[in-house]
Copies of this chain bind each other. A is one copy, B any other.
Amino acid sequence: MEYKFTPKKYYFLYGKAEPALKLKPGDVVETSTVDARGYDSAGKPLSEESKAVEGDYIPLYSNPLVGPFYVEGAEPGDTLSVYIEKVKPNRDYAWSRILPHFGSFTEEGPRRRFLLNEPIEEKVFDWKLDLDRNVAILQLQNSKLKRVEIPLHPFIGSIGVAPRFGRRETALTPGEYGGNMDCIETKEGTTLYLPVFVKGAYLYFGDVHAAQGDGELTGVALEVSADVKLKIDLIKGKSIEWPRLEDEEFIMVAGSSRPLMEALKIAHVELVRWLVEDYGFDKWEAFEILSQVGKCRIGNVVDPCYTVVAKFPKKYLP
């Protein structure tokens, strides 16, 4: 079945909550997301009533999420399959920032101070989006170059399910449940596989980026509202440990941790496991081939956990 879904509430957590909609494997859901600070396609902020707070803790009002989508039949030990059919910015601007105490190049963060140097001053960047031409344009103030125009490659910054233990009550952290991975790979045409830790899975997503470089260096991409369409499926009895992805070219694993090297190791070790379990590779031969043909992309180096995507080209699968 295909649903057009209009969110009434936005969440700031990954975990169990009152389902926004119950889906069956095979269903398609189309909806729209707001940007990382809660602004919608008309440039209006979230109303107070639309901010869902489960329990009476203080939420971090960043990266509002659509959901949760309860998936009928999903049980711990299954894998949720999410095919990304559409990710389309739905307004004519995106904002970006450089912030003190946030981002690995201006003091690590968020909310962590590591240095005795003075923090920087905040900088704001307003990008125009030309959706017909699929580009973003920035006017530069202080550079020789006066204008830069870059292609859009929209993707979902934050998408995940209820975690294994407890809730993750900010939407800023990525982990084994997905979350704020900020990977350009969660784009149109990719299938994302997420471990089901909780009956019903509880899928959420939001924080679409219109464009972003490797590593999301400043900590802020081209933040935008968007129309999103996803097809949900379920792989019963198939258990995975970290988010896996697949597009035309690669099978992939997204590992999230700190330090960066740990995220890289997690992603590759899980990818070797995938090659062994599903494709009949010997562990060491899988590792050897991965080592010679693997690609590796850094999703982000700014969130509370960093994300690395390890990729194996499908043309070398049996």
Contacts and interface: CB of A to CB of B under 8 A. Distances in A.
Given A105-B287, A143-B286, A264 B294 contact: no
Contacts of A197: 58
A198 B259 contact: no
Interface in A138-157: 138, 140-145, 148, 150
A141 B57 CA distance: 45
A133 interface: no
Contacts of A293: 150, 211, 213
Interface residues of A, number: 101
Interface string A168-180: 1110000010000
A71 interface: no
Given A96-B292, A211-B293, A264-B260, A118 B118 contact: yes
A contact patch SS: loop
Counting chain B CB atoms within 10 Å of each CB, which of A168, A268, A279, A286 scores highest?
Answer: A268
Contact of A213 (B136, B148, B265, B294): B294
A136 B138 CA distance: 45
Contacts of A168: 166
Contacts of A221: 291-292
A213 B166 contact: no
Interface in A209-259: 211-218, 220-222, 241, 257-259
A298 B268 CA distance: 13
Contact of A107 (B117, B176, B222, B284): B117
Tallying the copies of this chain within the complex gives 4
A21 interface: no
Interface stretch (A33-41, A82-90, A108-116): A108-116
Contacts of A257: 112, 258
- Residue among A105, A119, A272 with the highest chain B CB neighbour number at 10 A: A105
Nearest to A117: B117
Contacts of A297: 296
A138 B216 contact: no
A2 interface: no
Nearest to A62: B165
A116 B270 CA distance: 10
A177 to B, nearest CB: 11
A165 B169 contact: yes
Pairs A-B, 6 closest by C-beta atoms: A166-B169, A144-B280, A142-B282, A213-B294, A214-B296, A145-B318
20 contacts: A15-B57, A105-B269, A106-B116, A106-B117, A107-B115, A117-B120, A118-B118, A141-B285, A143-B286, A148-B289, A148-B316, A150-B292, A150-B316, A211-B293, A212-B291, A215-B268, A217-B291, A259-B259, A259-B261, A296-B298
